Structure 1
Amino acid sequence: MNIHDFAKKKLDGTKISCVTCYDYSSALIVAESDIDCVLVGDSLAMTIYGYDSTLPADIPMMSAHIAAVARGFKAKSSQKFIIGDMPFTTYRRGLDNAVDAAGALLKAGAHAVKLEGADGNLEIVKHFVEGGIPVMGHIGLTPQFVNTMGGFKVQGRNDEKAQKILEDALRLEAAGCFSLVIEGVPAALGEKISKELKIPTIGIGAGKGCDGQVLVWQDFLGLNNGHKARFVREFAHQFDETKTVLNRVHEAILNAEYPNNAESY
């Protein structure tokens, strides 16, 4: 898949499937699936490293995980499209620094980068695209703005804020984004934006009217144990399943049932 396939899928009315992917082993599985593309998201700061926001992610962290995913796809001769998140503040330190940061992610194996928000980013998007760096935008609930938003809250609930999000989407499209993530907005707004834009939208908590959807690996596999966002669907319950397997491992070791003769040299 490449950026032109995103536009083609929207034109054909075919939904785009995307999941987060953070490591080599997971990439080996995705490579053999029907999933269209993956996002190596800065959400890994939370899902992999246990931070309470995405803000601690940095370029070395993102590059290492992107490279691991790219190696997994290469091992399976997979052409899955990889989007890498630009970490907090890395694209707000001047154009030269922003290009260096984005370049590091592409050199690690990403095919495109994603950045959050429109205000202050339009020149950056244009500069990236003109320099050969495909850009996916991100509007609505933008996790890197958690401190200015006062938490992870649904955005665009009133007409004025909804209009601002729509305008941001149109500005990012005009600046050159090939696609746009819409996160944490009312379903009606997600659908309206998707109809207004020529580029495809990828929703997460933005309703089924978007041109595609992205889900976080730990969420759709049911690897979390506790509160989950309303938009999350657990397609499996691997937290409990894995815990059961761990207990079986413990019991087998405790009872000297593992390893047996066939498993020994």
Structure 2
Amino acid sequence: MSVAKKQYKRITVKSLVEMKANGEKISMLTAYDYTMAKILDGAGLDVLLVGDSASNVMAGHETTLPITLDQMIYHASSVVRGIERCLVVVDLPFGSYQSDPKEALRSAIRIMKESGGHSIKLEGGREVKESIKRILNAGIPVMGHLGLTPQSIYKFGTYTVRAKEEEEAEKLMDDAFLLERLGCFAIVLEKVPAHLAKKVAESISIPVIGIGAGNGVDGQVLVTHDMLGMTHEFNPRFLRRYSDLYTEMTGAFQQYVTDVKSKDFPSDDEQY
């Protein structure tokens, strides 16, 4: 007998744990600005991630490393103004938490106070344990991120699948258990083998949200610009394009140019 899906007026970290317990998958996409956040929120998304991927898709950088804490706060505050229902998670950018737990706490507090975001996300396990503990002790919800960690790209040198070898897979499992014990409310698993991601999700009580981690996890996240087809150079196996906005938008812009050049726009009906 099926159980009716609970209707959430507002998604909280507690809602996500309930969704996992009830077997309801969690939907999560990235957002960086007010207009997109408003559309995503109205479409029924559960979680909006103000990702440091803004460094790539909004600013054109090759990696996520250049984006600053001030820039993340700007993007996050824009997103928060556009939502009514979604939980907003904000990435701590590279350099704002790795070396010093006190700096990590200051960074997290700035995001919460200045953007109005509901929680933060950071990459890593045991290496950033003290930073996570300090942030959680201040009452700030933390989402973990394991597997492929883009802020460490120059350490790994590649964006290939992580934890294929037994040693790294065991470390990932240990880190997932650690993040749960510390009190993280959820974990993102990026680009890891599907069987390992499923094992993690089944072994811990907090939600596991995957990106390139198969369908055995508790939810999915993609970069909105990728799934809408606004970017077209990036084609990993895990990406499903739900639209081809690159082609559609290019066509619209080209038509606008044609209409302006030919004096078709504005028409008599579009003048005062």
With the shorter chain as reference, the TM-score category is over 0.9
Instruction: Say which SS state the counterpart of residue 120 (structure 1) adopts.
Output: helix
2:171 is aligned, of 164, 170, 192, to: 164
- Structure 1 stretches of 4+ with a deviation exceeding 3 A read none
Please list every run of 5 or more consecutive structure 2 residues that lacks an aligned counterpart in the other structure.
1-10
Contact 2:102 2:134 in 1 (8 A): no
Instruction: Say which SS state the counterpart of residue 106 (structure 2) adopts.
Output: helix
Q: Describe how 1:79-90 pairs up with structure 2 within 5 A.
A: 79-90=85-96
% identical aligned pairs: 37
- Mapped to 1, the partners of 2:233 and 2:63 lie a distance apart of 17
Look up the equivalent residue of 1:97 and give its one-letter code: E
Q: Describe how 1:173-212 pairs up with structure 2 within 5 A.
A: 173-212=180-219
Q: 1:3: which partner in 2?
A: 13
- Mapped to 1, the partners of 2:202 and 2:191 lie a distance apart of 17
Instruction: Give 1:120 shift.
Output: 2.4
Look up the equivalent residue of 1:84 and give its one-letter code: V
TM-score, normalised with respect to structure 1 = 0.96
Residues 1:44 and 2:50 are matched in the alignment:
no
Report the more deviating stretch, 217-226 or 47-56. Answer: 217-226
Look up the equivalent residue of 2:212 and give its one-letter code: G
Residues 1:126 and 2:136 are matched in the alignment:
no
Q: 1:97: which partner in 2?
A: 103
Q: 2:24: which partner in 1?
A: 14
- Mapped to 2, the partners of 1:215 and 1:153 lie a distance apart of 17
Q: C-alpha root-mean-square deviation of aligned residues, in Å? A: 1.0
Q: 2:79: which partner in 1?
A: 69
Contact 1:123 1:175 in 2 (8 A): no
> 1:11-65: CA deviations, max 9, x gaps?
0010000000010110110121111010000010001101010000111110000
- Mapped to 1, the partners of 2:14 and 2:200 lie a distance apart of 20
Residues 1:219 and 2:229 are matched in the alignment:
no
Instruction: Give 1:263 shift.
Output: 1.3
Q: Describe how 1:122-161 pairs up with structure 2 within 5 A.
A: 122-161=129-168
Please list every run of 5 or more consecutive structure 1 residues that lacks an aligned counterpart in the other structure.
none
Instruction: Give 1:226 shift.
Output: 2.4
Look up the equivalent residue of 2:32 and give its one-letter code: Y
Q: How many residues align?
A: 261
Q: 2:262: which partner in 1?
A: 255
